[in-house]
Each structure stands twice: as C-alpha cells, then as structure tokens.
Amino acid sequence: MTIKVLGFGIVREIFGDQAIMAELPENARIADLRIYLEDGYPKLARLASYMIACDDNYAQPTDLINDRQEIAVIPPVSGG
C-alpha cells in the first residue's frame, strides 16, 4: 500500500517537502514504517528521538497502519 507521510519542523526539512509517499506491505506496523523512513532518510536516525502519529494520536511501534489514516512524523517538540 502507498501511504502519505507528513513531516514537521526538522523532519519537513529532511523530507525536503511537507509530505512524502511511502510504499509499505499490507499489515505493516509503525516499526516497519520507521525502518522504511530511516532507509530513505538516514538523518532521521540521528535525531534525539521521533514519534509517529496516526490520526492525531501518538502511535506505538506495534500499531498497524492503514492507508486511510493521516500519518505524521513528530520530531522532538519545543513549543512554549
């Protein structure tokens, strides 16, 4: 399946765009997406940390992904 992945802050700059398309097998989990992303964008692995959000909620590595969700990469936050 093809999913759209949004990037914010430094991840937007690493992607070079607000969003990229990722090609994942059916039944892929968050952990699989992280591996896919770090393969394509090695700078992600050098961040202090990053989370994946699905439909506005922080996701766990074992959560399943589907192509109807809004997926976003959340680098360390620094608001306030």
Partner 1 sequence: MVDIRITPKPLDIKECIEWIMASECGGVDVFIGRVRSETLGSKVVQLEFEAYVQMALKELKVITNYVIETWKVENILVHHRIGILTVGEIPVIIAVSAAHRDAAFDACRYIIDTLKKTVPIWKKEIYEEGQVWVSAHP
> Which residues of the shown chain bind partner 1 in the complex (CB under 8 A)?
6, 8-10, 12-13, 46-48, 53, 56-57, 72, 74-80
The answer to whether the CB of 53 falls within 8 A of the CB of 71 is yes
Q: Which is nearer to partner 1, 27 or 57 (CB)?
A: 57
Structure tokens at 45: 């692995």
Q: Which is nearer to partner 1, 21 or 77 (CB)?
A: 77
What DSSP character marks residue 42?
A: G
- Give min distance, CB of 25 to partner 1, in A: 26
Q: Which is nearer to partner 1, 2 or 49 (CB)?
A: 49
